[in-house]
Amino acid sequence: QVELVESGGGLVQAGGSLRLSCGVSGFTFSNAHMAWFRHAPGKQREFVAWISRSTGSTRYGASAKGRFTISRDSAKNSVYLQMNSLKSDDTAGYYCAAALKSISFAIADQALQYDYWGHGTQVTVFS
């Protein structure tokens, strides 16, 4: 049974940092491209970051560039999202996603490319 379990969300003051984690089970982690998306009430789901399964290449959404860092640890079957300089606009539910098929850099921001999703962790940034 495939499971993606996010953790690390919470309440943080603007300018602060959080580190999200996503633990994976039920498939071979090294075979999966991993990504983070977020969804805020009244807004569309937004791509945040992607990390490839082989080379560790990364891609970031416009709002994440320069502030967020995605990483993965195969020994722990986990992917992480380090978020710095948080703003109130970052308030959202953050979701981990996995794709077992090949995904290129060009389409890594498309939610439909991902096979499995976690239930999300809430991040709330206050001023």
pLDDT, one tens digit per residue, over 65-101 is: 999 999 999 999 999 999 999 999 999 999 999 999 9
Token pair of 98, please? Answer: 């996995």
Q: Percentage of the chain with pLDDT > 70?
A: 100
Token pair of 86, please? Answer: 């948080």
pLDDT band at 54 (very low <50, low <70, confident <90, very high): confident
